[in-house]
Structure 1
Amino acid sequence: MWEFMQHLNYWDWLALGTVLLILEVFGAGGYLLWAGIAGIIVGVLTFLIPGLSWTLQLPLFGVLAILTAVYWWRRQRGTVDSGDQPNLNRRGHELIGRTFVVQQAIVEGRGKIKVGDSVWMAVGPDAPVGTPVRVTAQNGAVLSVEIVP
Structure 2
Amino acid sequence: MFDNLVVELGPWSWWLVGLVLLAAELILPGFFLVWIGLAGIIVGALSLLFWTSAFWVWQVQWLVFAATAVITALLGRRYLYNENQVTDEPFLNQRGASLVGRTATLDQPITEGRGRIRLNDTYWTVRGPDLPVGTRVKIIASNGRDLTVEPA
Is the structural similarity TM-score above 0.5? yes
Secondary structure, aligned partner of 2:123: strand
**1:49-128 pair list within 5 angstroms:** 51-52=52-53, 54-55=56-57, 57-77=61-81, 79-81=82-84, 83=86, 84-128=88-132
Letter in 2 for 1:36: G
Match of 1:35 in 2: 36
Secondary structure, aligned partner of 2:89: coil
Letter in 2 for 1:80: E
- Aligned in 2, Cα 1:13/1:91: closer, same or farther, shift over 3 Å? same
Q: 2:112 and 2:2 mapped to 1: Cα distance?
A: 80
Task: Tell me the C-alpha RMSD between the 2 structures.
Answer: 3.0
Q: Structure 1 residue 61: deviation in Å?
A: 2.9
Unaligned runs of 5+ in 2: none
- Aligned in 2, Cα 1:131/1:106: closer, same or farther, shift over 3 Å? same
Q: What TM-score does the superposition give when structure 1 sets the normalisation length?
A: 0.73
What is the percent sequence identity of the aligned residues?
41
Q: 1:57 and 1:104 mapped to 2: Cα distance?
A: 68
Q: Give the aligned length.
A: 147
Letter in 2 for 1:69: A
**Conserved? CA contact 1:102–1:128, under 8 Å:** yes
Identify the match of residue 137 of structure 1 among 132, 137, 141: 141
Unaligned runs of 5+ in 1: none
- Aligned in 2, Cα 1:28/1:87: closer, same or farther, shift over 3 Å? closer
Q: Structure 1 residue 100: deviation in Å?
A: 1.0
Q: What TM-score does the superposition give when structure 2 sets the normalisation length?
A: 0.72
